[in-house]
Chain A
Amino acid sequence: MKPSQALSKEDCLEIFNQLYLARYFDVRLIKEKKRGRLRGTLYSSHNQEAVLVGSLFGLQPTDWISPIHRDMPAFFMKDFRFGVDNPDRLGMSIEEVCCQVWGKVDSPGRARDNWSHIGSKSKKIIHSTSMLAGTIPVAAGVVYADRMQGGNAVCLTYNGEGSTAQGIFHEALNYAAVHKLPVITIVENNQWAYGTPVEMECPTPDVADRAKGYGMLGLIADGQDVFDVYDKVMEAVAHARAGNGPAIVECKTFRAYGHGDHDDDRAMKYRPSAEIEAGRKRDPIAVCRQKLIDLGYLTGDAKNAYIAEGKNAGDATNDDFPPHVVEYLNKGIEFAIQSPVPAAEEAEQWVFWNGGSK
């Protein structure tokens, strides 16, 4: 039996709900940026939400994650299953994440670095940098230390297919495989690394093939199908947690927009429109909806309620999303807007640790 077949109706509906949350976060921020209320660059996860939701859903609170730039919703969706209002939940609050996006003092990193470059030791989220694949060795070290201290955590690291060209991708996987460390490398293969197509980054059609060279498990998931992602990641997690070593889970997906919002217009030129259309044909919300209808979990009016799929951020409205989803983000944004900007003098702080703690 596949792991997803053991999910309850409530779990399946929660997964559907989380797809909406991730999509709305993206849609709303794109709108906020267009209104001029945001600084910095947005790296949209539009059309890739199933990768995040499906991979995060089965984790234990003690597990670690290491998201990168296109995984912004992962920061608040980690451990979501534990209850969004549960103060002991090991994920960030939407307020914290919005403060990070807005560059405010209540961001977990007090707005010292931008966008996804946050994390939390206490919430077991590794802080990302701009150096692609650079957190994989850190993730390996985290679980090594966890094992030394009697733990049984796994760590999911998120990477684009482009980052597989980095030397550290190989070096870290090789190390993790030698020590059989429970690191699961999710490769979000969205076909484009900024302006370079996958065939110019990877010499083989499937990144997952590389797992063979390390004697590790390599799986391919349909990145548009949240349940397939869940199944493959759960298989890798079970394998890793049992002490069988790391795994690569390649999720085939497609980047909806540009690399960042600064690149949206150019991305329409370097990627043929037919390719964009084909790549976005299977919207993860639509794929999930059909699955829930087939399972009999969505019936009657609910089958066609809140059609957020197949719409560009500019065309989607609040009415396309369940009200509690809109409300959840409103709460975060309102908090972020009133949170102050850090004092300029903070720029000099925390270069060195002086024995104190935050």
Chain B
Amino acid sequence: MSSTTEAPAALKKNYLTALKEALDEEMARNKLMLCQGEDIGRLGGAFGVTEGLQAKYGENRVVDMPISEAAIVGSAVGMALNGMTVMAEMQFIDFISCGFDQIVNMMATYHYRTAGEVHIPVVVRGPAGAYGGGALYHSQMNEAWFCNSPGLKVVCPSTPYDAKGMLKAALRDGNPVIFYEIKELYRKREIEEELPTDDYIVPLGKAAVRREGKDVTLVSYGQNVYHCLDAATELEKLGISAEVIDIRSLVPLDEDTIFNSIAKTSRVIVVNEAPMTCGFAGELVARISTKAFHLLDAPPSRVTRMDTPVPWVKPLELHVLPTVDKIVAEAVRVVKF
């Protein structure tokens, strides 16, 4: 999405390769960096994000961990306390709940409670998101839990360019970062793109305008960005011009890009596959309502997952999730308001 000229297919890289390159390059430049997680060494990870890293960097720096998310995170915090940078993989982001206490009580608070003596360069990353038939425990977007825990940065890239640049930025950030990867995007051909050969980062806390428009702003992140882009194409046929914003980073949040867009469109819909109640869409609507109310010609709206778990079979799954049709219908309603 970031490259404007067509590159030869062979040079285009998918989202998963982008992540792998980020880890490889950071491991090469930082000898005090370590990767750990379940099945990440010998196997190369359940999805292959760490493939080849153990052969290259050794068993001490690419560590196969016992099945304990709490030990994976807790020991990463100890390593960070003693001078290292750690990538801690959750095999599925759903399993992050098993390491919850170590994340929110140990890791997130460390800098605060030591009055700045200690900072924790740990990136907890893992595959997230629904739409793939993963059912209740392989489909979650549970980012709101961590946005509600001060001290954690929370990000979710949607393109290969961002996946690489943001993972590198996260690993250099010095703060604990919860890094949501979208597993449905890992090998998605349509979004493959050429990546810069030189070292680059994408700063955390900067939103991206993915499509410009003037009638309504669709705010989203992760794979819902593509639902919004598809909806914008449909809306265009109806004579409605939609602007699509990919916030990329939830904490810290780039409010200006959102408000600047609303200043132009005066209407906004937040699209998010996490459940509605206390989800991040609610936070975005609250910020817009309290800080950009004067810019609005219609109440801010949201299209989210229903307040249900994510069911397994396709009709049920799509029933509870945001879809292009649901976004289009809501946009038509909001524009007519």
Contact = CB atoms under 8 A, between A and B. Distances in A.
Interface of A: 108-110, 112-113, 117, 119-122, 126-127, 129-131, 134-146, 148-149, 167-168, 171-172, 174-175, 178, 346, 349-353, 355-358
B70 A168 contact: yes
A292 B73 CA distance: 46
A358 B71 contact: no
Contacts of A109: 113-115, 117
Given A129-B106, A351-B151, A141 B116 contact: no
Greatest chain B CB density within 10 A among A122, A141, A349 is at A141
Contacts of B118: 121, 127
Contacts of A355: 174
A172 B75 CA distance: 8
26 contacts: A108-B115, A109-B114, A112-B114, A113-B113, A117-B113, A121-B118, A126-B81, A127-B118, A134-B101, A134-B106, A137-B70, A137-B73, A142-B78, A145-B79, A171-B70, A171-B71, A174-B66, A175-B65, A175-B68, A346-B115, A349-B115, A350-B112, A351-B111, A352-B111, A352-B153, A353-B119
Contact of A138 (B81, B112, B116, B119): B81
Interface residues of B, number: 41
Interface of B: 32, 34, 60-61, 65-66, 68, 70-71, 73-84, 101-102, 105-106, 109-119, 150-151, 153, 174-175
Contacts of B83: 145, 149
A175 B66 CA distance: 6
A121 B66 CA distance: 27
Given A137-B75, A171-B68, A352-B153, A110 B82 contact: no
- In the A-B complex, list the 9 residue pairs whose CB atoms are closest, starting with the nearest: A141-B78, A137-B74, A141-B75, A353-B119, A145-B82, A138-B78, A110-B115, A171-B68, A142-B78
A232 to B, nearest CB: 24
Contact of A168 (B101, B109, B153): B101
A127 B151 CA distance: 16
Nearest to B151: A351
Contacts of B112: 112, 350-351
Given A174-B71, A175-B66, A351-B151, A148 B115 contact: no
B111 A353 contact: yes
Given A112-B114, A175-B71, A349-B116, 14 more contacts: A112-B112, A121-B81, A129-B105, A135-B106, A138-B106, A141-B75, A142-B78, A145-B84, A148-B32, A149-B32, A149-B83, A168-B101, A351-B150, A353-B174
Contacts of B78: 126, 137-145
B12 to A, nearest CB: 35
B71 A137 contact: yes
Contacts of A144: 75, 78-79
A140 B71 contact: yes
A353 to B, nearest CB: 4
Nearest to A357: B116
B82 to A, nearest CB: 4
Contacts of B150: 351
B117 A358 contact: yes
Contacts of B151: 351-352
Contacts of A130: 105
Contact of A146 (B73, B82, B111, B174): B82
Nearest to B64: A178
Given A351-B111, A351-B150, A352-B153, A134 B71 contact: no
